[in-house]
Structure 1
Amino acid sequence: MTKWALIVDDRVDTISYEPIQSWTEVGDNVFGGFIGDGDGWKAPPPVAPPASAFTVVHKADIWRRATDAEATTIDAQLNAQSVRLRRMWQDSQTLSTMDELYPAVQAAFVSAFGAERAKELLETTA
């Protein structure tokens, strides 16, 4: 079956199976988004997947980034929490922004160290 394409800026914008005046006839293997390179039509480059909706911080990185005084403050704040919260912190190796407790952890860091330093301490692990 013959296909026709509306070409805009060397890119296939729209495909039709009915001939339309001033549209370009293309092969069956050409689809919307294909790019003309002078030798034919090529598929567009793949689109990068969206950035992850959440980030992860290895808690060891938090301790490495903290000064001795900041580590003492973090430890004191942890010790003031319930057993359940302390164990959740102690028994996990990472801190995820998807965790239901992350906003509370972030708020505690901001309260103790200010927004800029909290951001540095909670920076995503690469």
Structure 2
Amino acid sequence: MAIENQELRKAGLKVTLPRVKIYQILEQADAGEHFSAEDIYKLLMNSGEDVGLATVYRVLTQFEAAGLVSRHHFEGGHSVFELARDDQHDHVVCVKCGKVAEFSDAELTRRQHEIAESLGFTVTDRTLYLYGVCTAGCEDK
């Protein structure tokens, strides 16, 4: 049985062709690659799959509810998805083209916990988004 079928069943979701295809796209993403629902829809269309945009949104919402994907909401209503992972990482977002890059920094994570503790908090989760402009030839969309 394919890994994506196991993951879908483990999450309590019925194995359907659209779910499998969308999971495969997310699973085969390069490290740090994030997709909007529209990106996934275009990839499906380009590979000849007959899956509507509404189905892509619905499946991604189901995946998020089941804990299979993480949704990141960026300024300007830009949302992207990636498979849920256990590692802590942060994101840099281009305000012109929407490109997303991720990074990990142990010192930054340590400082965030230190700051929270000094204010009387224990960190249970964290999200950091940095906004800027691509410096290597921004592809303004």
Range into which the TM-score falls when normalised by the shorter chain = under 0.3
Structure of greater Rg: 1
Give the TM-score normalised by structure 2: 0.21
